[in-house]
């Protein structure tokens, strides 16, 4: 019975699959999801200002020699409110943050900024969500770290929690 070992082959294969999914379930899944755009330059775009008194945002504003965060938000988005203190903390630490207001009107954006603070240096208005699609963003809030040369370094999906702040800050410093 030289072929007896063949009979155990299915079990070995099955064991491998079980080990694989066991590992898959217990791996650390971070929210710093790498999108297809990681390592790619920011797509060309130009957005009008979302509120009066603050400039809009275009792709060439992002390659001005400093790494910065680009934050997709909306005044209608509840997690964005929860995220506001963390953005404020990052801004206070010296990180430049630009915003993109999704499917929003100026009045609501203004109210949102008045109530939850305004960490943004510029805010562009993405009225029909087209730029969101171009960026490959899956929802709001979502934040990108863009290198000085306009390359996207990382994508953070979902709201930034307090525990994410140090990591984002480190990533920003590494890029500087």
Partner 1 sequence: MIAEAGLAALWLAAAMALLQTFAGFGGLGDRLAQLTASLRGFAVAQGLLSLTAFAMLLWLFARTDLSVGLVALNSHIDKPMLYKIAGAWGNHEGSMLLWVTVLSLTGGLIALLERKLDARSFAATLGAQGVIALGFYAFLLFSSNPFARLSPPAPTGQGLNPLLQDPGLAFHPPTLYIGYVGLSVAFSFAVGAMLTGKAGPAFARAMRPWVLISWIFLTLGITAGSYWAYYELGWGGWWFWDPVENASLMPWLAATALLHSVSVLAARDALRAWTIMLALTAFAMSMIGTFLVRSGILTSVHAFAVDPERGTFILVLLALYIGGALVLFGTRIGSVRQGAPFHLFSREGGLVANNILLSAILAIVLIGTLYPLIAEGLFGEQLSVGPPYFDKTTVPVALVLMLFLAAGPLLRWRRDGSGSLPRKLVLPAGASVVALILLLVLAPGTGILPLLGLVFAAGLAVASIVPLWGRKLLRTPLPIWGMVLAHLGVAVAVVGMASESGFTQERLAAVRYGEELEVGGWKVQLLGLDPVAGPNWTAIEARVLAKKGDGRWILHPQSRSYSSPVMQTNEAALLSRWNGQLYATLGAQDEQGRWQLRLWWKPFVSLIWLGGVLIALGGALALIGRVWRGFRARFPKTQQEGFA
Residue 78 within binding range of partner 1, rule CB under 8 A = no
* d(C-alpha 54, C-alpha 15), whole Å: 59
Can you give the C-alpha Rg of the chain in angstroms?
Answer: 21
* d(C-alpha 122, C-alpha 118), whole Å: 10
- Say if CB 80 and CB 74 are below 8 A apart: yes
The span of 10-18, 54-62, 67-75, 156-164 binding partner 1 (CB under 8 A) equals 10-18
Site map (CB under 8 A) of partner 1, residues 22-51, x = contact: xxxx-x-----xx-----------------
Residue 8 within binding range of partner 1, rule CB under 8 A = yes
Residue 14 within binding range of partner 1, rule CB under 8 A = yes
One residue of 4, 28, 44, 163 binding partner 1 per CB under 8 A:
4
Phi, psi torsion values for 172, nearest 5 degrees: -65, -40
Residue 18 within binding range of partner 1, rule CB under 8 A = yes
Residue 158 within binding range of partner 1, rule CB under 8 A = no
Locus of tokens 């999108």: 35
* d(C-alpha 173, C-alpha 176), whole Å: 5
Enumerate binding residues for partner 1 (CB under 8 A).
1, 4, 7-8, 10-11, 14-15, 17-18, 20-25, 27, 33-34, 127-128
């Amino acid at each position: 019975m030289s072929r007896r070992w063949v009979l155990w082959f299915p079990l070995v294969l099955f064991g491998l699959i079980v080990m694989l999914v066991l590992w898959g379930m217990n791996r650390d899944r971070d929210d710093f999801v790498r999108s297809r755009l990681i390592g790619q330059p920011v797509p060309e775009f130009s957005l009008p200002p979302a509120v009066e008194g603050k400039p809009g945002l275009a792709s060439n504003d992002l390659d001005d020699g400093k790494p910065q965060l680009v934050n997709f938000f909306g005044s209608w988005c509840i997690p964005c409110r929860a995220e506001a203190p963390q953005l404020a903390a990052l801004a206070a630490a010296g990180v430049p943050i630009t915003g993109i207001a999704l499917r929003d009107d100026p009045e609501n954006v203004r109210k949102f900024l008045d109530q939850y603070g305004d960490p943004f240096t510029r805010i562009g208005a993405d009225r029909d969500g087209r730029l969101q699609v171009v960026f490959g963003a899956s929802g709001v809030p979502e934040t990108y770290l863009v290198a000085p040369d306009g390359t996207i370094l990382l994508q953070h999906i979902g709201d930034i929690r307090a525990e994410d702040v140090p990591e984002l800050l480190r990533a920003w410093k590494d890029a500087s």
